[in-house]
Structure 1
Amino acid sequence: MVESVKKLWQFGQTVLGIIFRHPVTGVSVVPILPDGQIIFVRRRDNGKWALPGGMVDWGEDIPTAMRRELLEETGLELIEMGRLVGVYSAPDRDPRVHSICILVEAKVQGSISIQDQVEISEVKAFSRESIPKDTLSHDYARQIQDYLEGRTTLA
């Protein structure tokens, strides 16, 4: 009995260590409307602009997470995935948690409507020239610059 409790405790410590001591995986989308404008969302937690995205749920793959997050935050439908822009993993890129963000370009369509009003306060389309680079959250200034300059980044 004591040995089985000890093994269970060790297993629990291992699982908790894996969950809480490893970065979480997230996705972000560079949503491109048919007219070429790029969609950004305004975050409620800091009032800054961000690309739509979020954490990958358990049992979910990257394309499914992209579609889900895009729909939840913007109401838009992902039509076609484009290029992989980058993978961003700096421990300080997200002030809340160490996360790895996979950024992918996507063609989108539909009507803008915020589904997740707890996290998002506004959704807006910007031309490439009017992106509010000085008011972007997290490391989105770097991400959008990599996208605009055609780079594929591993950072």
Structure 2
Amino acid sequence: MNVARAEYYDDPQAPKPNSLVVAASAVVTDDSGRILLQRRGDSGNYALPGGTMDLGESLPQTAVREVREETGLEVEITGVVGTYTDPGHVIAYTDGEVRQQFNICFTARVTGGSLAISDESTDLRFVAVGQLDDLPIHHTQRLRLDHFLDHREHPYLG
């Protein structure tokens, strides 16, 4: 059973969080500079691959595992885009969990594997930067993409 979710950002009507879960995501690029995005089955939005950290693993290991599980690709972490811990970003799940965001976003390059859609997504593709505005992407995912595309000297801390 898939659990649906709704995201809130600086919304006074958002439900109050009842959990804080450590997560990692990754901006994976190909040789052409296109960015790997998945269309999430729970929201219909395109997003970076990523997910919850498991006990016994580091955040970079989480990002590598989540990319493999969600896309079929093996990746190597190459840097950090930023930290995303804004308490104004709340994710409410239909099972009753209301999560405050806590995500470290990494950069990564493909080292192997082949694209394969997981049960968490309905589409998977490398997207040219000029086509990002054509896709439904939540504001908080777009923020990570913008920080990556800004080629910031230092990771975003927020």
Q: Which structure 2 segments of 5+ residues have no match?
A: 1-16, 93-98
> More helix by proportion, 1 or 2?
1
* 1:65 corresponds to 2:40: no
CA deviation vs aligned residue, 1:28-80 (integer Å, no higher than 9, x gap): 100111232110000011100000000101111112111110011111110x3
Identity of aligned residues (%): 32
CA deviation vs aligned residue, 1:110-155 (integer Å, no higher than 9, x gap): 32102x31x2111011011111476113610111001100122111
Residue of structure 2 equivalent to 1:48: 45
Structure 2 counterpart of 1:45, which letter?
D
* 1:93 corresponds to 2:92: no
Which one has the largest radius of gyration?
A: 1
> More strand by proportion, 1 or 2?
2
Structure 1 stretches of 4+ with a deviation exceeding 3 A read none
Instruction: Give the secondary-structure state (helix, strand or coil) at the position aligned to 1:123.
Output: strand
* 1:106 corresponds to 2:108: yes
Residue of structure 2 equivalent to 1:75: 72
CA RMSD of aligned residues (A): 1.9
Contact 2:78–2:107, Cα closer than 8 Å, also in 1: yes
Under a length normalisation based on structure 1, what TM-score does the superposition of the two structures give?
0.78
CA deviation vs aligned residue, 1:89-126 (integer Å, no higher than 9, x gap): 01232423113100000011432102x31x21110110
In the alignment, the residues of structure 2 paired with residue 110 and residue 132 of structure 1 have an alpha-carbon distance, to the nearest angstrom, of 28
Q: C-alpha displacement at 1:22, in angstroms?
A: 5.8
Under a length normalisation based on structure 2, what TM-score does the superposition of the two structures give?
0.77
* 1:154 corresponds to 2:139: no
Residue of structure 2 equivalent to 1:36: 33
Residue of structure 2 equivalent to 1:11: none
Contact 2:60–2:106, Cα closer than 8 Å, also in 1: no
Q: Which structure 1 segments of 5+ residues have no match?
A: 1-19
Contact 2:34–2:126, Cα closer than 8 Å, also in 1: yes
